[in-house]
Structure 1
Amino acid sequence: MIDRFSDLSNSLLCHILSFLTTKEAVATSILSRKWKTLWTLVPKLDLDTDNMHLSLDKIGECNEPINISYTDVLSRVLALHIAPFIRSFRLRCNSDCPPFHFDTWIRTAIARNVEELKLLIFYSFGIHMGLPCSIFYCQTLVALELSGGIDLDPPSSFQLPNLKILRLLEIYYCKDSSCFSRLLSGCPVLEDLSFERDGYDCLYHFEISVPTLKCLHIAFRSYRLDLNDYTIEIKAPALEYFKFEGDLGHIVLLKKLDNLFEADVYICSFDESDSLEESQKRCYGDRVFKLLRALTTAKFLLLFPGVTECFVFGSIYPSKFLNLVQLDFKLNPSNWHVLQALLLVAPNLEVLVVDKCYYKSKDKLC
């Protein structure tokens, strides 16, 4: 069989290897002499401590296989990796990973002018992972994703001058929500923010003030509607895309969204098992319509209303959607009146997409 792959240039082969995890890329070193060190030139590292229990002979010069720990394997991989820069660095590990090794790996990526950094930390044994300060001073970082058992506590003064994409997925905040606001204040060109939170962090006030922000995705899951008394203040005049999903609290938009192009709203509702008073249900319904009223400048609107008791009890209907040209609506037997109300306030609507959405699960999302 003719080996046509080996005739390709190293740059093209490295591009092909960049679609693999680092473990898979290292495994190609047994193919031939040319492939032996090719993985060390790939400007991407995708590392997972759960599958990095390799043998040293796969990544070094040892003739005999020697079983070593994942920390030694990762350290060896980074030591052998000689690409002049790292375009993407992704690390999945448990929160009980030794801090010294964790900090060393991150500092190595930053020293190689990393552009995209993803840290997925699995929470274990009540341990959270702190971040090395060097992250907050990385001049080349364009995208940052933090997920899981991470404690966020940025310095009082720092700047990520090129960061455009930020994902904060159910992480922990060391002191209070000011850590969140402080992080945003150090991102002068941020354009895309995803902010996911569960109900266990006991934080109830967040401020999002980013003049350059174009895309905002918020996901709040409290699991109990009586814990939804949180407030998010948003000041993002350049916002073009907005998405909310989960249990709705108080969302206050401090600036009119004149540039809003699309809004997707996946709202959780309540069912018969939720022991809420009528006044609480009415308050929740009003929150829904207040949010819609803040989105009236959108051209495209997608609604997943869930079980729409929240709309039944709400008393504040949105003003006119004068810019709306397309409405995607998930219909169930109890929300016809919502669709009718929206059609009355969208005089320039051109496209209406209606899908059936039968809702029975306890999860509360369609």
Structure 2
Amino acid sequence: MLDKILRFIITVLTVIAGLMTAKWISTSSFFASMVSNESLRIGFIDSGDTIATILIFIVGGISGGAVGFFLSPFFIKHLMKFTYWVESRLNKMPIYDVLAGSIGLAIGLIISNLIGSTFMHVPIIGNYIPGVSSIILGYLGMNIAINKREELFLMLVSLPWRGKEKEKDKSKDKIIEVEQYKILDTSVIIDGRIADICASGFVEGPLVVPVFVLEELQHIADSSDLLKRNRGRRGLDILNRMQKELALSVQINTSDFDDIAEVDSKLVKLAQVMKGKLVTNDYNLNKVAELQGVKVLNINELSNAVKPVVLPGEEMIVHVVKDGKELGQGIGYLDDGTMIVVDSGKKHIGDTIGVLVTSVLQTAAGRMIFAKPKAMEKGA
């Protein structure tokens, strides 16, 4: 049914084109010089037209209609292919890209219309400038709007649409702060502790996984190195668990900054655009993000903050597992992974002994406890 309608429309258009061509021929000076008999006239034909003019109109209309009727299947076929191509491209694009492209195209065409109208009176090229400028500015507006879609929508959201929005109370500000986006980097996903932290309820709001982080995880999971492959697969399993088992709000962000090569730089840029917080356990990324004004949630810092406080003079039981760097030292670990350096503990390797804490050293990498064996005490 649609093919028949389109074929009818194309045929009508070609008939009109044929009549317009016949009109142009009938008013040409060449045709006027050949026709001298002006005695016969018909109502809808201009008063100066003759029988020859009428015949030209009939021939033009029939010729145009015939061309349109027989060539319309060819045009319809290619029109359908073009329509399906456009539809498939639009279906693959996120809705933000479609909306941003439409807004950019509209703005580009408006600017083109304003510019083109000033050149209308220029001889020869004046009639062509509006069409050319519409194509160029429409494409530029659409392309720029898609590339800057995040900034565009954030700008629209932040506009004071109502006067009441300017008088937000402190409680609402706190809610907004809680619901800030938490952007996960590759290291914190592979680490896995973020899943347990979110499950405990200490981290709220939507979690965002950028598409370039997913690509890096997939690249690591496909590595030929066994250790890297296991780490990458662990990260993918953690994400799957967070989405399905823990039912957390995990969003995949498709924004990719093609002009930036490094994944860490892309993460910082995305956090700036979304005004979110970056969740990581990468010390260097933490410092770079803070220098650029991005708030960071460091899992290692959280882990150190919740470890039990140990003061010099306290007693504890330690299992010495290996020797230390310095002569005679032994090394043990608490349940939370904190390393304990035991003076003169090398001779107690493999034993569980009571120790007395002498000092505690806090570093960026974690916490170290220095201790010495309790005199005349040894555990089994």
TM-score bracket for the superposition, by shorter chain length: under 0.3
Q: Higher relative CO (CA 8 A, sep ≥ 6), structure 1 or 2?
A: 2
Which has a greater percent of helix?
2
TM-score of the aligned structures, taking structure 2 as reference length: 0.18
TM-score of the aligned structures, taking structure 1 as reference length: 0.18
For the pair shown, the structure with the greater C-alpha radius of gyration is 2
